[in-house]
A and B are shown apart, each in its own frame.
Chain A
Amino acid sequence: MTDPDVRADHDAIEEAVTPGANGLSQRIVAEQHAERQAGADKVFEIEDVAVAYSGQPAVKNVSFPIYKHDITALIGPSGCGKSTLLRCLNRMNDLIPGAAVSGSLRYHGQDLYGPKVDPVQVRKLVGMVFQKPNPFPKSIFDNIAFGPRVLGMKGDMDEIVERALRRGALWDEVKDRLKENAFGMSGGQQQRLCIARALAIEPDTILMDEPCSALDPISTHKIEDLMLELKQDYSIVIVTHNMQQAARISDRTAFFTVDVDEGERHRTGRVVEYDSTDKIFQNPADPRTEAYVTGKVG
């Protein structure tokens, strides 16, 4: 009864309707699966964390998990404590005299601020890239090799350096000038050098404090593409003022706000909302989040 053309049409429609087969629904199923996967492994568990500088609270009541292989973005107005929180994750706040961290911060289940924990060890596992590129006044090779050398990493230094530069998407551009001073590179290259330098010590998490704010748009996009690649092997937490950047690359976003004390004497930050980036930028739950991401409130 039905001729071969209609048979083919029939099959096409059938295929499209059946979930799990090639086609649309397959994609949705895969994404949900990935979601559950990510949910299983937490890199950081942050519970009721507060940070005070010389008695003045800078940020408090911070509680949210950070998942493995996520890019987690921390956004919010100036002074809301996002950089402060970021620096807790690799114990860089220890370097600021008068800084006090309270609450529970667990890294793969271990208390990050436990009595036997060595901050130097923490920083080997949790790397950091700063806002303004800060290469050392040495050659490109020595910049990358510095971390492995001070940590006493075994292995052929040439290989270690090449591996780090490849992972940092910089190898092709610098392989012929490894002995040149790092200061001769452009801003975008310097920042990628800093990323490669952090990768050389084989961390499992990379923290980035506004890594692109000093860079031009092309360099910014190159680094964003790099981050999307890196997230397969690392977990990334990024503080950014650039909301579009958070929207473009992050999987989950935490929105911070500032509470101003009566009398305007000091400002304390805290987290308002933490959810998948899709939700934050399409349909945030809290009106303050909506006001911030739509640019109605600074």
Chain B
Amino acid sequence: MSTIDPRLPGAQRTRLAAAGARSVTASLTDGRGRDKVTGQIFYALLLLAIAFALAGLCAIVVQAFVKGSPALSLSLFTDAPSSSAERAGFRPALMGTLYLILGVIVLVVPLGIGAAVYLEEYADKTRWWNRLVELNIQNLAGVPSIIYGILGLAFIVRGPLDLGFILAAGSLTLGLLVLPTVILAAREAIRAVPPSIREGSLALGATQWQTIRRQVLPASIPGIITGVILAISRAIGETAPLLLVGAATFVTFDPTFLGSDGYSALPVQIFNYATRPQDEFRVLASAGVIVMLVVLLAMNAFAVWLRNRYEQQW
């Protein structure tokens, strides 16, 4: 703080001194008024956005509950579909969804982890073909699911694989649909393992494979599982591709993987009930929606719990 030039006349010095004192004290109390208001407006807008999203979600859930709760009973899980609403249920559809998901897991987990490990640990990222593969995978994750349905129809049900309209074909199709998501999630989990762990392992004389198997993968398993669960919860809800690869809407018996008698899935069955003219079936459809929502919520909650429990603080 420089002193005021003593050669100035007294009155001027007094004025300068007062101004200096004011600027010092003022800076403590002066809010940056405009910036504060902008901050508050921004905050309000954020709250509004959240409110919209929540409102939309709540509307769907509340409507489903209101409409479907009368039909909620155990018979939903044990009865097959029938033209009579009282005796109709979701059993084959539930079984179908379950089998489909099992098939997806069997397909997607090894392929997804393997691809992620290759991309993160072995691929030379400066090579153009590896960059191309990465780009492709990221794109595939965003492709509309109906395209996968067409793919399944053309290449799996008919075409080279020619499996016909069997449940396995449905699993394969759904698997391809969620594979990119799993690969991306697994890659993120593997990337989250810091390079210092790999370096430390290699510096002790471990080979690359030993490092992956004993350090990287164990540390990234929680992240990978979370990704798999989220992918599955997406797969459960996919209806359009299943319609194309043979999920039928009126199946009264339990499905099998390779049986060519047909199979169904929960979203498909809900779709079927919802489009029937009788009101009772619409109530059933809503009940089905409730069931689906509960399953999805449970799965996501489990994924979140898993992630929190095993999250590594690096």
Say yes or no: is B312 at the interface (Cβ < 8 Å to chain A): yes
Of the candidate stretches B22-30, B110-118, B197-205, the one touching chain A is B197-205
B205 to chain A, nearest CB (A): 4
Say yes or no: is A123 at the interface (Cβ < 8 Å to chain B): yes
Say yes or no: is B196 at the interface (Cβ < 8 Å to chain A): yes
B189 to chain A, nearest CB (A): 13
B311 to chain A, nearest CB (A): 11
Q: Mark B248-285, 1 if CB is under 8 A from A, else 0.
A: 00000000000000000000000000000000000000
Interface residues of A in 94-151 (CB under 8 A from B): 95, 97, 120-121, 123-124, 127-128, 130, 132, 134-137, 146-147, 150-151
Give the size category of B's interface with A: 20 to 34
Say yes or no: is B84 at the interface (Cβ < 8 Å to chain A): no
| Measured CA separation A295–B58 after assembly (Å) | 67
Say yes or no: is B304 at the interface (Cβ < 8 Å to chain A): no
Say yes or no: is A212 at the interface (Cβ < 8 Å to chain B): no
Say yes or no: is A201 at the interface (Cβ < 8 Å to chain B): yes
Say yes or no: is A64 at the interface (Cβ < 8 Å to chain B): no
Say yes or no: is B86 at the interface (Cβ < 8 Å to chain A): no
- The contact of A134 among B199, B210, B214, B313, by CB within 8 Å, is B199
Say yes or no: is A92 at the interface (Cβ < 8 Å to chain B): yes
| Given A97-B126, A150-B210, A183-B313, residue A136 in contact with residue B203 (CB < 8 A) | no
Residue of A nearest to B198 (CB): A95
| Measured CA separation A192–B48 after assembly (Å) | 53
Say yes or no: is A293 at the interface (Cβ < 8 Å to chain B): no
B61 to chain A, nearest CB (A): 39
Residues on B with C-beta less than 8 A from A90 are 203
Residues on A with C-beta less than 8 A from B205 are 120-121, 123-124, 147, 150-151, 201
A163 to chain B, nearest CB (A): 16
Contact B202 A130 (CB under 8 A): no
Give the size category of A's interface with B: 20 to 34
Residue of A nearest to B215 (CB): A136
Residues on A with C-beta less than 8 A from B197 are 134, 136-137
| Given A150-B210, A183-B313, residue A197 in contact with residue B204 (CB < 8 A) | yes
| Measured CA separation A164–B197 after assembly (Å) | 20
- The contact of A92 among B203, B206, B210, B312, by CB within 8 Å, is B203
Residues on B with C-beta less than 8 A from A92 are 199, 202-203
Say yes or no: is B162 at the interface (Cβ < 8 Å to chain A): no
| Measured CA separation A210–B214 after assembly (Å) | 27
| Measured CA separation A213–B207 after assembly (Å) | 28
Q: Mark A163-203, 1 if CB is under 8 A from B, else 0.
A: 00000000000000000000100000000001001100100
Contact A146 B196 (CB under 8 A): no
Contact B204 A137 (CB under 8 A): no
| Measured CA separation A147–B197 after assembly (Å) | 13
Residues on B with C-beta less than 8 A from A97 are 124, 126
Contact A147 B312 (CB under 8 A): no
B301 to chain A, nearest CB (A): 25
Contact A150 B200 (CB under 8 A): no
Interface residues of B in 283-314 (CB under 8 A from A): 312-313
Contact B204 A198 (CB under 8 A): yes
Interface residues of B in 44-62 (CB under 8 A from A): none
Residues on A with C-beta less than 8 A from B203 are 90, 92, 123, 127-128, 130, 198
Say yes or no: is B219 at the interface (Cβ < 8 Å to chain A): yes
Contact B199 A130 (CB under 8 A): yes
Residues on B with C-beta less than 8 A from A134 are 194, 196-197, 199-200
Q: Mark B181-213, 1 if CB is under 8 A from A, else 0.
A: 000000000000010110111111111001000
Counting from the closest, the 4 A-B pairs by CB-CB distance are A147-B204, A134-B196, A124-B205, A128-B203
Name A's B-contacting residues (CB within 8 A).
90, 92, 95, 97, 120-121, 123-124, 127-128, 130, 132, 134-137, 146-147, 150-151, 183, 194, 197-198, 201
Give 5 new A-B contacts, CB below 8 A, not counting A92-B203, A127-B203, A137-B312.
A97-B126, A127-B204, A128-B203, A136-B197, A137-B197
Name B's A-contacting residues (CB within 8 A).
124, 126, 194, 196-197, 199-207, 210, 214-215, 219, 312-313
